[in-house]
Structure 1
Amino acid sequence: MRCTLGRKVYTVVVYRYFYDCEFIEDGVTIDLVSIGVVDENGREFYAVSTEFDGSKAIPWVRHNVLDKLPSPADSAWQPRKKIRDELYEFLVAPLRGRTGERIELWAWYGAYDHIALAQLWGAMPALPRALPRMTKDLKQRWDDLGNPDLPKPPPDQHSALADARHNLARWQAMEQTAR
């Protein structure tokens, strides 16, 4: 992306991250269960919260999400504070020491995902400045492009990491259509 400021032209490098959150939503609270993130270079992040209240999950979430989580002995299970700190490091590491670069977050129906991600920091104003204040929506992009063919969902759909990978594959298919 090229930006102009006065007579100077700057190149802005965009780091795109594709992610998915699994969560329990009860009409009042969005409670993070897991988060998966992939970038365009193949780096991946996956974590499962040790702090969600599974008793509030509706049957669909119990069957399609909770029943498919890794064993509680798996290292993916972490307290929210550790997820927050490691996720932040994962997202900002490629930008360290560089200027003119920014992060874009992309998800399918991204509003809920963004809330689940942002709540790792507490209230929305506590979200670090290096992170976007919104998640771009892949579903809207797909609609804007006229609903082109997309890759089929993976067999392990509703795993946050599998869905994040699928979001990257959707993006790549849409970019081919947009050219």
Structure 2
Amino acid sequence: MEERGYRYFYDCEFIEDGVTIDLVSIGVVDEEGREFYAVSTEFDDRKAIPWVRRNVLDKLPSPSDKAWRSRERIRDDLYEFLVAPLRGRAQTRMELWAWYAAYDHVALAQLWGAMPALPRALPRMTKDLKQLWDDLGRPDLPVIEGDQHDALADARHNLARWRVMRDGDTPPAV
């Protein structure tokens, strides 16, 4: 029997200084529409370049919002979100998908520390939607309106992109 993939589409916002990728926020949407969103209470906003301040930090929810969590709590809550739908499902593996996936995967994996600490249930790589789009001849994709660089809005957009690429449909507005 062929193992079926259960897909998650995600996006991370982060501060990157050439040495460190510091998670700011993560948004995840699964193929059934469940959503996860968290903002780290531990990133160093002093290291953010003006573009990140303007396009990411200035758009974060109020610090009193329940999305704000420690990295440890993000890690634990995210793990539960990712593995819960797979419990009791035979022949199901997890697939992670992101646009320009390499940075996102590093930001996600760092929640567990060094790569060997990543739980066995989680994939060791994230599939790249941008690469798939290139491989398919760059079909028209939905255009995101308004909330670009909001991790959850971008995760929703990644799911919409994947659906268009999978089905070959006309892109919907996102």
Which among 55, 66, 74 is matched to residue 75 of structure 1? 66
Q: Percent identity?
A: 79
Distance 1:51 1:41 in 2: 30
CA RMSD of aligned residues (A): 1.0
Which among 44, 50, 73 is matched to residue 59 of structure 1? 50
Distance 1:152 1:94 in 2: 29
Q: Measure how far apart 1:99 and its partner are.
A: 2.7
**TM-score normalised according to structure 1 size:** 0.92
Distance 1:54 1:153 in 2: 26
In structure 2, what residue type is equivalent to 1:78? R
1:31 aligns with 2:5: no
Distance 1:96 1:176 in 2: 28
Specify the alignment match of 1:4 in structure 2: none
SS in 2 for 1:97: coil
In structure 2, what residue type is equivalent to 1:130? A
Q: Measure how far apart 1:176 and its partner are.
A: 1.9
Specify the alignment match of 1:140 in structure 2: 131
Specify the alignment match of 1:7 in structure 2: none
**TM-score normalised according to structure 2 size:** 0.95
Which among 66, 75, 99 is matched to residue 84 of structure 1? 75
Answer yes or no: is the 8 Å Cα contact 1:107–1:167 preserved in 2. yes
SS in 1 for 2:11: strand
Distance 1:99 1:85 in 2: 24
Specify the alignment match of 2:172 in structure 1: none
1:104 aligns with 2:95: yes
SS in 1 for 2:141: coil
Distance 1:110 1:98 in 2: 26
Answer yes or no: is the 8 Å Cα contact 1:111–1:135 preserved in 2. yes
Can you give the 5+ residue segments of structure 2 that lack an aligned partner in the other structure?
170-174
Larger radius of gyration between Structure 1 and Structure 2: 1
SS in 1 for 2:79: helix
In structure 2, what residue type is equivalent to 1:163? D
Specify the alignment match of 2:141 in structure 1: 150
Q: Measure how far apart 1:162 and its partner are.
A: 0.2
Which is worse superposed, 148-157 or 130-139?
148-157
The C-alpha deviation readout for 1:3-33, integer Å capped at 9, x for no partner, is xxxxxxx142211000000000000000000
Paired residue total: 169
Specify the alignment match of 1:45 in structure 2: 36
Distance 2:6 2:168 in 1: 21
Answer yes or no: is the 8 Å Cα contact 1:145–1:177 preserved in 2. no
Distance 2:140 2:88 in 1: 39
Answer yes or no: is the 8 Å Cα contact 1:154–1:166 preserved in 2. no
Can you give the 5+ residue segments of structure 1 that lack an aligned partner in the other structure?
1-9
Distance 2:168 2:133 in 1: 10
